[in-house]
Chain A
Amino acid sequence: MANTIEIRKLTKDYKDIRAVDNLDLEIREGELFSLLGVNGAGKTTTIKMLCGITKPTSGDALLNGYSIISQEAQVKQIIAVSPQETAVAPNLSVEENLHLMCGVHGFDKQKTTEQTELMIKQFNLEKIRAKKACKLSGGWQRRLSIAMALISEPKILFLDEPTLGLDVIARSELWDTIRSLKGKITVILTTHYMEEAEELSDRIAIMKDGHLLICATAREIKAATGEEKFENAFISIIKGGAR
């Protein structure tokens, strides 16, 4: 399978802190890839650089062949982000939020209607389509947030802590949604929930202090550490990789 993302020596310095240090990583097309690490590991900075929000200090990354340094506009055409916090326009209805995303991607009226209906159907938003986003529960807002990311038909989707703060049922439903994306688009997931990464991911990368410690499947990571539980394997790697 071809690589959708190729990260080459990506580095980001903030004053006296190196947030990401010479990161090399390849992510395959259609893969659901998780980035794990404790706070300050460099996950969010990595994602911000890949999305064009933050400029790298050095290095580069190719997304579908486009450089995040020199082809930012092309990169923005093929990616979508569902940020950690709810990223919806509060006084707009569900349908209007979806229209907003179509509009900022320059869709014409027909495509806007088609894509909106598709997302409403795919995410079961029919009953709440006219409801203001600020009136929705956390779970529905998160679901809308992902629908807003997917409406532009991205090749690569970044999901930052998608289930943070959700109850068990809402999390389970969102997992089903994320699972359904497997193989269709490349998904980069950051999460603090070990079981979420293990359950959903094809491969997992663990970062600490801006460095990549390991990149493998959950089973391989457990085997490498001799742990049965993935959470213990994660702790073992983080402690073993202490600098």
Chain B
Amino acid sequence: MKRMLAFANRTMKEILRDPLTLGFGLGFPIILLLLLSLIQANIPVEMFEITHLTPGVTVFGLSFMTLFSAQLISKDRESSLLTRLYTTPLRASDFILGYLLPILPICLAQAVICYVLALVLGMQFNMNMIWAILMILVPSLFYVALGLLCGSALNSKQVGGICGALLTNVSAWLSGIWFDVDMLGSAFKKIANALPFIHAVELERAMVIGDMAQAMSHIWWVVGYAVVFAAIAVYVFLRQMKRQ
């Protein structure tokens, strides 16, 4: 445990000291909320109403956490730091938890910042908001597991392309944050519903309005994807560790 925490502490410092993390991870969701609220103030659109928009932007911000964790892992693999650490008493579980756990508080902090800004922009505070912030940990698990998978399987250049460009786009287009997926036809809607992104957003939206029945109908999709991706990520990480 002590060894894992030492490694996790390093992971957190590496991520938080990267200016890109602060810029994109925390800054970008803030800019989105401000910008879309400004549009909403001038041309009211139901989609960009603050109670509806905030859960979506909060979930969208998690895709940057995938990028940051994947980048850190792939860079560690490319440098000799992991080779050095593989020769220490750290076990495989210490590495996996040391990469995964420190990202979760960052995800939580990102959600807190988004909801605090939403309060400033006119969202009404109630206890549901607290539960929504805590619930962000569930989709966070999926996004962080995806980061471990991409970081273990791809090099840092590929991570930039796949997590930085592809994932953020897929996460944006198939999540129903910016537009209703019904607008693009039944095939698009089927694809969106088969993936976890829209369920993660709907889960958050349900939590914000306190609709637990609706939340439960989405949570299993997100949990299911999180478990499957975590299992694949652990397998791929262990495989590359052996290859090293």
Contact = CB atoms under 8 A, between A and B. Distances in A.
A145 B80 CA distance: 10
Contacts of A104: 3, 6-7, 85, 88-90, 94
Categorize the interface residue count of chain B. Answer: 20 to 34
Given A103-B9, A105-B3, A89 B14 contact: yes
Contacts of A82: 84
Interface stretch (A72-80, A113-121, A122-130, A230-238): A72-80
A96 B13 contact: yes
B13 A91 contact: yes
B87 A80 contact: yes
Interface residues of A, number: 36
Contact of B89 (A77, A86, A88, A149): A77
A77 B89 CA distance: 6
B87 A52 contact: yes
A103 B4 CA distance: 8
B2 A53 contact: no
B80 A83 contact: yes
Given A105-B88, A152-B88, A87 B6 contact: no
A106 B87 contact: no
A146 to B, nearest CB: 11
B87 A79 contact: yes
Contacts of B3: 103-106
Contacts of B90: 104
B223 interface: no
A195 B25 CA distance: 50
B93 interface: no
Most B Cβ at <10 Å: residue of A55, A82, A89, A132: A89
Nearest to A102: B6
Nearest to A133: B81
Q: A-B pairs with the 10 shortest C-beta distances?
A: A103-B6, A83-B80, A87-B80, A87-B84, A91-B17, A85-B80, A51-B87, A81-B87, A104-B88, A91-B14
24 contacts: A55-B242, A73-B89, A76-B87, A81-B83, A83-B83, A85-B80, A87-B79, A88-B81, A89-B81, A90-B14, A90-B79, A91-B13, A96-B13, A100-B7, A103-B2, A103-B9, A103-B10, A104-B6, A105-B3, A105-B88, A105-B89, A106-B89, A149-B84, A152-B88
